[in-house]
Amino acid sequence: MEILHEIAMLSVCTDSNKIVHLKDVFQNRHEIILVLECAPGGDFQSVLDDDVVPFEEDVQGYLRQILEALDFIHERNIAHLDIKPQNIVLMGPYPNCEIKLRDLELARVIKEDEDIREIIGTPDYVAPEILNWDPITLSADIWSLGVLAYVLLTGFSPFGGDDDKETLRNITTATLEFPLELFEGVSDMA
C-alpha cells in the first residue's frame, strides 16, 4: 500500500519540474519497481557527509527551489512530511546544479474536514505540532524547511540530541540557538 500511495503522489506531481518524476512502474510476483528520474549528483546528505557546508548564496538558491516544489504540492493540499537532505537530489554536479524533492512515501493529502494525527517524519526535521499530536497541516513542511535551512547553513542540526528521544524532546522544549561559532560568516538576513 505504501508503494501504491507513493505512485499516486508522484503521479499528481508530473507537472512539477522541482519534484523527481516517476518514469515507469514494473511489477512481478514479489516486488513493485519504480523507475525514477535520474539524479546524477546523488542526494544532498552525501554533500553534508563530506563535511561540506554550502555557501549562503547557494543555500538561498536551493531553498528557493525547494519552496517551488512545496508550493506545487501545497497548492494541491499535499504535505510532504519528510523534508530532509536525503530527500533532496542533485540533478548535476554540486554546487552549481538544480535540485529536486523526492520521496513522497509519507506525504498526506490534507482535507479541511478531516484531521490527520500521526507521528510521522524524521526525528531531526519533524514539526513540534506532529509530536504534540495536533492535526497535521501544510505548515509542518515549513518547519522542516527551516530546520533544513539551519542544517545547510551550518552543517549541524538545531535540535540534535544524543539519541532520537532527546532530539524529539529538544524539538518540543528547547530554545533555538544560533551559536557564533556555527554562524560566523552567515548574514543576519539568513
Note the pLDDT tens digit of each residue in 21-34.
Answer: 999 999 999 999 99
Of 45, 38, 58, 70, the C-alpha closest to 145 is 70
pLDDT-based confidence at 135, cuts 50/70/90? very high
Asked if residue 174 has pLDDT above 80, the reply is: no
Q: How far apart, in whole angstroms, are the C-alpha atoms of residue 162 and residue 29?
A: 42
Q: Phi/psi of residue 72, each to 5°?
A: -60, -50
Is 82 tagged catalytic? yes
How confident is the model at residue 180, as a pLDDT?
Answer: 93
Rounded to two decimals, the pTM is 0.93
Q: In whole angstroms, give the CA distance from residue 83 to residue 63.
A: 11
Residues 63-92: what's their mean pLDDT?
98
What was the pLDDT predicted at 72? Answer: 98
Please tell me the distance from the alpha carbon of residue 153 to that of residue 190, in angstroms, as a whole number: 9
Catalytic residue among 43, 82, 103, 141: 82
Averaged over 163-176, what is the pLDDT?
92
Res. 175: pLDDT tops 90? no
Answer yes or no: are the C-beta atoms of 170 and 160 closer than 8 Å: yes
What integer pLDDT is reported at residue 158 of this predicted model? 96
Distance CA 85, CA 164 (A): 17
Contact 171, 142 (CB under 8 A): no
Give helix then strand counts, H and E, for the chain: 7, 6
